[in-house]
């Protein structure tokens, strides 16, 4: 059963993060990328629904690419038996393969009665395998929650509602072989069949008799430096690059440590089987 994050932390964190626009319209900043047949992707203006069945899933992406920003989306993922179903919200450079940069939210479905896993991952120049997984302190299928990515020249922070769940500092130029996302990226969202790996390492598959599976998305405003911007994306004049967004506050750090200690069930940085020689990636020493 889901447990709760300490409420005093949430009250402290709320004053730190910016307000999200109330009702942005989907097609102002986004467009369907696949499955736009009126059933698998339904655009209701302030809400988009993606449905997956045996025939297809669907996806959408931002019209522009961005070089920094504070990105957000409110998402309600499918509930019930969702083993093998992957609902994704992520940033990815063009093309989204090869030597690309990427920052992922991936919700990994499960069987009835077992919690959904949230996996995050970061790719830099095509180098991924930076998975972190956690069990959330709420049911993400019961209601909408806010999923945010702060990406600026100083740090990458992944938030669930107001709580930081992942931090990657930018130490490039100071630490040898350190990697940090630097390519312009688009916002993307999709639902697809991850039966080969998503649930119990791929042992539990999608049950198509339980389809269709539907996720809903809201909050289509974008606070970011677009490829059309005359202002350099690293400029301190952009509010998400200001000093207060360059490091976690003490309250955010406490909340982040609580997530790592209480809810995280896999962290590539502590995987002794993968790094038996003790040579973990350099970013693991600087979060």
Q: For residue 192, what are the β-bridge partners?
A: 86
- Active-site option among 47, 102, 162, 177: 102
The number of angstroms, rounded, from the C-alpha of 205 to the middle of its chain's C-alpha atoms is 23
* 102: annotated active-site residue: yes
Residue labelled with tokens 């969202």: 189
- Active-site option among 106, 162, 179, 283: 106
* 106: annotated active-site residue: yes
Q: For residue 57, what are the β-bridge partners?
A: none
Q: For residue 93, what are the β-bridge partners?
A: 185
In this structure, are strands 155-160 and 85-93 parallel, antiparallel, or unpaired?
unpaired
Q: Which residues are catalytic?
A: 102, 106
């Amino acid at each position: 059963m889901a447990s709760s994050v300490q409420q005093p932390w949430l009250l402290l964190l709320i004053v730190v993060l910016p307000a999200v626009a109330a009702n942005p319209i989907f097609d102002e900043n986004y467009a369907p990328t696949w499955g736009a047949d009126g059933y698998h992707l339904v655009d209701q203006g302030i809400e988009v629904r993606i449905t997956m069945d045996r025939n297809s899933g669907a996806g959408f992406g931002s019209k522009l690419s961005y070089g920094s920003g504070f990105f957000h989306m409110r998402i309600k993922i499918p509930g019930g038996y969702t083993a093998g179903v992957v609902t994704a919200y992520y940033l990815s450079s063009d093309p989204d393969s090869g030597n690309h940069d990427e920052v992922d939210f991936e919700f990994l479905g499960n069987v009835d009665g077992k919690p959904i896993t949230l996996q995050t991952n970061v790719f830099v120049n095509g180098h991924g395998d930076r998975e972190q997984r956690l069990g959330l302190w709420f049911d993400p299928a019961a209601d909408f929650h806010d999923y945010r990515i702060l990406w600026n020249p100083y740090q990458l922070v992944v938030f669930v509602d107001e709580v930081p769940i992942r931090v990657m500092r930018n130490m490039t130029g100071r630490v040898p072989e350190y990697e940090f996302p630097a390519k312009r990226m688009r916002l993307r969202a999709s639902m697809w069949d991850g039966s080969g790996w998503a649930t119990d390492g791929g042992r539990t598959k999608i049950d198509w008799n339980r389809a269709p599976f539907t996720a809903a998305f809201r909050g289509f405003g974008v606070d970011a430096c677009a490829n059309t911007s005359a202002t350099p994306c690293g400029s301190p004049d952009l509010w998400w690059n200001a000093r207060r967004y360059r490091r976690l506050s003490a309250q955010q750090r406490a909340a982040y440590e609580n997530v790592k200690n209480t809810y995280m069930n896999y962290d590539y940085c502590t995987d002794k089987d993968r790094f038996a020689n003790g040579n973990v990636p350099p970013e693991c020493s600087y979060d």
